[in-house]
Structure 1
Amino acid sequence: MPDTTADAPGINRRQLLKLGLFGTAVLTTVGGIASLGGCSADTPAQGFQQLRKDDLPMLRRVIPVVLVGALPAEQQAAIVEGVLLALDNNLNQLSPSLNTQLLQLFDLLTLGVTRGAVTGIWGSWENANDEAVQAFLKRWENSSFALLQQGQNALTNLILLSCYSTPASWPQCGYPGPPRI
């Protein structure tokens, strides 16, 4: 029987192994740099269980871009803070290994040494404009590296889940809330 795996579209075993090794190397490097750079990996920010102080500026810039058009302008700051609390709660509910991977993704996005190279945002997150954040998300979404696609997917889906799981967002999307018994 002929081997059709070489002609099949998608990723083959060798590419999958290379991608896995590349992803492991990137996350290990980021973790090492973060620990050497004094990154507050184990210290949650005040009022949070999982999110660290360094994560907050990045998330405060990315959340409004992901939720563009879904946030009323007059309530945007309050909604972003509510999404941060819900996101923190969601992180706290994850398995320890998945939680660690997401926090490593946040390290990759917040650490100055890696942020510019992987996002194209060379300055601080506070100074990034919406177009730069949107360009970073699009670049990762359309990347030829599956690891970057997965990172973008994890980040945006976590933000969307955190937003739409809060009762404050339900009127915006026409959801009346869970049935009352």
Structure 2
Amino acid sequence: MTDTTLDDAGLSRRSLLKIGLLGTAFLATAGVAASLSGCSSDGPAGGMRVLRQSDLPFLRAVLPVMLAGAVAAERMPQAVESCLARLDYTLDHLSPEMLKLTRQLFDVLALPVTRGPLTGVWGSWEKASREDILAFLARWENSVLNLLKMGHASLQQLVMMAWYGSPESWQHCGYPGPPSI
């Protein structure tokens, strides 16, 4: 039988709980700091219903990396803008509580105090390289903190729903579109 105790990994239950509590406290503090700094109080960006100006640098940096392989390089700028519009539409139709959580996620990613320690991207998103963004996504996907794993899953689901809900993505995946009625 395989030994599944935490002793092999050098972690006790107590230290694992401490790590989880510290991570939760840090993220909660970051969310409060974002709220108090006014990061979450700005209104929608021009032409958007929900997405704020502070959300756009992150999304414009991450979307090309997440859509790589699904979009030809020469079509990427149009695909990013299309995906942003569909993401905005999707967010506009979320429940108020889910929208609040999504905004908190975007605030944590936009605020320099939390962006560096949590993502490994210490400068602005506009200056982040493809490798920096891939490392951030892998870091969150494989994190020991469930909150970061949930953030990655939420971000991935939102982006994939926005992109694959668009008729321009269907040809790439072989979907002929809905049947004509």
Pairing of 1:77-96 with structure 2 (within 5 A)? 77-96=77-96
Q: Does 1:62 align with 2:62?
A: yes
Mapped contact 2:40–2:103 kept (Cα < 8 A): no
Match of 1:173 in 2: 173
How many Å separate the matches in 1 of 2:149 and 2:120? Answer: 16
Match of 1:102 in 2: 102
Match of 2:152 in 1: 152
Mapped contact 2:57–2:126 kept (Cα < 8 A): yes
How many Å separate the matches in 2 of 1:133 and 1:169? Answer: 22
- The offset of 1:110, in angstroms, is 0.6
Mapped contact 1:163–1:169 kept (Cα < 8 A): yes
Are residues 132 and 21 of structure 1, via their aligned partners in 2, closer, same or farther at CA, if it must alter by over 3 Å? closer
Match of 1:3 in 2: none
- The offset of 1:20, in angstroms, is 8.3
| 1:76-124, Cα deviation, whole Å (9 max, x unpaired) | 0010000001111111111111110011000001101100010000000
Mapped contact 2:60–2:80 kept (Cα < 8 A): yes
Mapped contact 2:121–2:128 kept (Cα < 8 A): yes
Q: Does 1:111 align with 2:111?
A: yes
How many Å separate the matches in 2 of 1:52 and 1:124? Answer: 16
| 1:20-51, Cα deviation, whole Å (9 max, x unpaired) | 8964x445423321233232534111111111
Are residues 163 and 100 of structure 1, via their aligned partners in 2, closer, same or farther at CA, if it must alter by over 3 Å? same
Match of 1:73 in 2: 73
How many Å separate the matches in 2 of 1:113 and 1:44? Answer: 23
- The offset of 1:56, in angstroms, is 0.4
- The offset of 1:130, in angstroms, is 0.4
Q: TM-score, normalised by structure 2?
A: 0.85
Are residues 141 and 135 of structure 1, via their aligned partners in 2, closer, same or farther at CA, if it must alter by over 3 Å? same
How many Å separate the matches in 2 of 1:76 and 1:82? Answer: 10
Q: Does 1:35 align with 2:45?
A: no
Mapped contact 1:48–1:85 kept (Cα < 8 A): yes
Are residues 157 and 135 of structure 1, via their aligned partners in 2, closer, same or farther at CA, if it must alter by over 3 Å? same
Q: CA RMSD in A?
A: 2.3
| 1:128-177, Cα deviation, whole Å (9 max, x unpaired) | 00000000000111111111111001101110110000111111111111
Mapped contact 1:57–1:125 kept (Cα < 8 A): yes
How many Å separate the matches in 2 of 1:88 and 1:34? Answer: 21
Are residues 40 and 108 of structure 1, via their aligned partners in 2, closer, same or farther at CA, if it must alter by over 3 Å? closer
Unaligned runs of 5+ in 1: 1-6
Mapped contact 2:23–2:145 kept (Cα < 8 A): no
Aligned identity (percent) is 50
